[in-house]
Amino acid sequence: KAGVTQTPRYLIKTRGQQVTLSCSPISGHRSVSWYQQTPGQGLQFLFEYFSETQRNKGNFPGRFSGRQFSNSRSEMNVSTLELGDSALYLCASSPVGPGYEQYFGPGTRLTVT
Amino acid sequence: DAKTTQPPSMDCAEGRAANLPCNHSTISGNEYVYWYRQIHSQGPQYIIHGLKNNETNEMASLIITEDRKSSTLILPHATLRDTAVYYCIVRVESQGGKLIFGQGTELSVKP
């Protein structure tokens, strides 16, 4: 099976712009979670989608949003980018909910200048 | 906040077993212990998980104490490629797929 794929892998944006990141889960997986990783804060949970519904959300401002499509592919959007949004954004998928391991993609490295 | 405590760093000689400890004293009865590792700048890699019993797979073994307040991840024959940050995570079942990562243990395998 192909793994979790994320596009683009690298991205450079300027402050105030918005960005959309994409995640394709492993075939058959219905849950997609997003994480942000920075040197200062480590890995932090953003949100989780399951069957096109947001099931869980972390402590991030409303500028961070996401959605999931009927084929389980997911996108996350960050509006009005700030320098502090520079991070590695990771997507993870799992078959269903609790008790199943999550498989992570390689991440999208976002740099905000 | 993360429900686990891990040493920030450990060293291990190549070919020897690496034993990574984790404390999770507030774990609830239906919460699983998961281990992931992250090699520099890559996405975290799932290693193993367990609830009560010890578990073993092709990568590692997970030993959970009888009171479930701590666990140990064992890499039986560490190689240089096992150098990574290892995260022990207690999965909060009431929060669905959410994984709360702590700071992890940076394992350095030395020749």
pLDDT at residue B32 is higher than 80: yes
For tokens 């920030």, what's the residue? Answer: B8
If you average pLDDT over residues B78-93, what whole number do you get? Answer: 92
Determine if residue B22 is left, alpha or beta; phi over 0 gives left, psi from -120 to 50 gives alpha, anything else beta.
beta
Single-letter residue type at B62? L
Question: What is the pLDDT at residue B54?
Answer: 94
pLDDT at residue B96 is higher than 70: no
If you average pLDDT over residues A82-106, what whole number do you get? Answer: 87
- Cβ distance B93 to A98 less than 8 Å, yes or no, reads yes
- Cβ distance B98 to A58 less than 8 Å, yes or no, reads yes
Sorting pLDDT into bands at 50, 70 and 90, what band is B98? confident
- Cβ distance A98 to B49 less than 8 Å, yes or no, reads no
Question: What is the pLDDT at residue B39?
Answer: 94
Dihedral sign from CA coordinates of A63, A69, A74, A75? negative
- Cβ distance B43 to A90 less than 8 Å, yes or no, reads yes
Tens digit of pLDDT for each residue in A50-92? 989 998 899 999 999 999 999 999 999 999 999 999 999 999 9
Q: Which residues of B touch A (CB under 8 A)?
A: 32, 34, 36, 41-46, 49, 87, 91, 93, 95-104
Question: What is the pLDDT at residue A99?
Answer: 54
Residues of B within 8 A of A25 (CB-CB) are none
Question: What is the pLDDT at residue B46?
Answer: 93
Question: What is the pLDDT at residue B56?
Answer: 97
Q: Which of A43, A48, A97 sits opposite B101 (nearest CB)?
A: A43
Residues of B within 8 A of A106 (CB-CB) are 42-43
Tens digit of pLDDT for each residue in A9-56? 999 999 999 999 999 999 999 999 999 999 888 899 999 999 899 988
Provide the strand spans (E) within chain A. Answer: 5-7, 10-13, 19-24, 31-38, 42-50, 53-57, 64-68, 74-78, 87-94, 103-104, 108-112
Single-letter residue type at A54? Q
Q: How far apart are the first and last CA of chain B?
A: 36
The order of strands in the sheet holding B84-91 is B9-13, B105-110, B84-91, B32-38, B45-50
pLDDT at residue A4 is higher than 70: yes
If you average pLDDT over residues B47-67, what whole number do you get? Answer: 94
